[in-house]
Amino acid sequence: MSIIYLENQYQISSETLEQISQAESIPHINEVKESLADALKFAWQWLRGDTTFEQATSGSTGSPKKIIIHRDQIVASAQATIQALGLDESNSSLLCLSARYVGGKMMVVRSLLANMDLVIVRPASNPLLYLPFLPKFAAMVPLQVQTLLDKKEAAALNQMKAIIIGGAPVSNSLETQITHELTIPVYSTYGMTETVSHIALKKLTPHHQNFYQVLAGNQIAIDERNCLKIKGKVTRDTWVVTNDLVEIVGDRQFRWLGRYDSVINSGGVKVFPEEVERVLEPILRQANFSGRFLVSSLPDRKLGERVILILESRLLLDNSQEKRILDEVQQQLAPYQVPKSIHYLPQFAETPTGKVQRSQTQQWLQG
């Protein structure tokens, strides 16, 4: 039996929740924030034995769409994580993500299957607010981890058993901060809605790894584009083809290179924007630019596409700042990878989960 804590206000046992016959009768369902009510309702649906769940995808394998996820897929995904991290009833977990998305739902199921007590708090940049106690295991997005480290909460995080980070790539600067300040196991995750959350983990600390390790029960391969394919119980033993370019580096291990649909062809040479962005990030931070940015392209008569840098900002850097940034990049990258110019947008296009939409942002720039 698990105890579900709704922030530091209410609590309900999984045994009690399982006995509820109608969603309207769930205790406290109308007294808590909508995000908590969503998680509580999903926990109730799971405990009553629902076998299928409709879920919107993020677009990792194509255009966003609604798909049906089956109970056996969810169980397979949850058990793989429970096994990989050694979770059991002696641990407790923190849900600080929206249960409308698969990452939040999976935290509920992992807790129930492992008999862990579950603390549900509203999604916020500081997920340690409103806690009745500090759980041992959490899934967070990069912004939440960044906020906690900036607020000097490393000591609290180091009391936990493990943290997994998903929803967006972990930046170089955040990786460095994590490795310097956190001593517990922290993992970056790779997965998507179609694979029912993550199918691979990359350890950031301790003993940092630069590859993802595939979890038990999953197979990987690459297609003719060198994009990752995934098959396992989480996909009901059918291949899911992604748009993620990868390099398979060992037994059940791969490096993520970038998105196939964001590759820039400049003068016949392929440029991976994500690779350029990893180099740019510390340079921009050193130049005191702390906003979002992305590497994109514009049509070019000679090259086909020319590489550019887009900054999310209403304020323009002066010419000398721009020149210093581009000069620094030029020293670290091949000439064809270096942005030819810097452009500005007051706001980037986003998905409902806050991820930057590269193609839409590029279209906004071109007007």
Is 130 in the same domain as 249? yes
| CA–CA gap between residue 187 and residue 200 (Å, rounded) | 10
Is 200 in the same domain as 249? yes
Is 103 in the same domain as 146? yes
Is 161 in the same domain as 295? no
Residue 91 belongs to domain with CATH number: 3.40.50.12780
pLDDT at 60 over 60: no
Is 112 in the same domain as 193? yes
Is 249 in the same domain as 326? no
pLDDT at 161 over 60: yes
Residue 288 belongs to domain with CATH number: 3.30.300.30
What sign results for the dihedral spanned by CA atoms 79, 85, 90, 94?
negative
Find, among 352, 166, 358, 177, the residue nearest to 276 by Cα.
358
Q: Which of 130-139, 154-163, 263-272 has the lowest mean pLDDT?
A: 263-272
pLDDT at 63 over 80: no
Query: Taking CA 320 as the corner, what is the angle to CA 314 and CA 324, rounded to the nearest 5 degrees?
Result: 100
The H or E element that residue 137 is part of is strand 137-140
Domain boundary, last residue among 218, 234, 257: 257
Confidence band of 57 (pLDDT split at 50, 70, 90): confident
Residue with tokens 């309702």: 41
89: left (phi over 0), alpha (psi -120 to 50) or beta: alpha
User: Quick check: 88 and 132 in contact, CB under 8 A?
Assistant: no
How confident is the model over 288-301, as a mean pLDDT?
92
pTM for the full predicted model:
0.89
Neighbours of 256 (CB within 10 A): 18
Q: Which of 198-202, 307-311, 353-357 has the lowest mean pLDDT?
A: 353-357
Find, among 11, 92, 103, 20, the residue nearest to 56 by Cα.
103
Domains of the chain: total: 2
What single-letter DSSP state applies at residue 27?
T
Domain boundary, last residue among 213, 241, 257: 257
- As a whole-number percent, the residues of the chain with pLDDT over 70 amount to 98
Is 173 in the same domain as 305? no
Is 48 in the same domain as 179? yes
The DSSP secondary structure of 76-95, one letter per residue, reads: HHHHHHHHHHT--TT-EEEE
Is 43 in the same domain as 111? yes
What tokens does 316 get?
């323009």
Is 93 in the same domain as 221? yes
Is 280 in the same domain as 154? no
Find, among 164, 355, 171, 350, the residue nearest to 278 by Cα.
171
| CA–CA gap between residue 354 and residue 243 (Å, rounded) | 19
Q: Convert the pLDDT of each residue in 180-197 to its tens digit.
A: 999 999 999 999 999 999
> What pLDDT sits at residue 58?
65
| Max intra-chain CA distance, the chain | 69
> What pLDDT sits at residue 323?
93
Is 213 in the same domain as 273? no
Domain boundary, last residue among 257, 272, 294: 257
Show the domain range for 292. Answer: 263-366
Q: Convert the pLDDT of each residue in 225-242 to its tens digit.
A: 999 999 999 999 999 999
How confident is the model over 237-254, as a mean pLDDT?
94
CA 57 to chain centre: 13
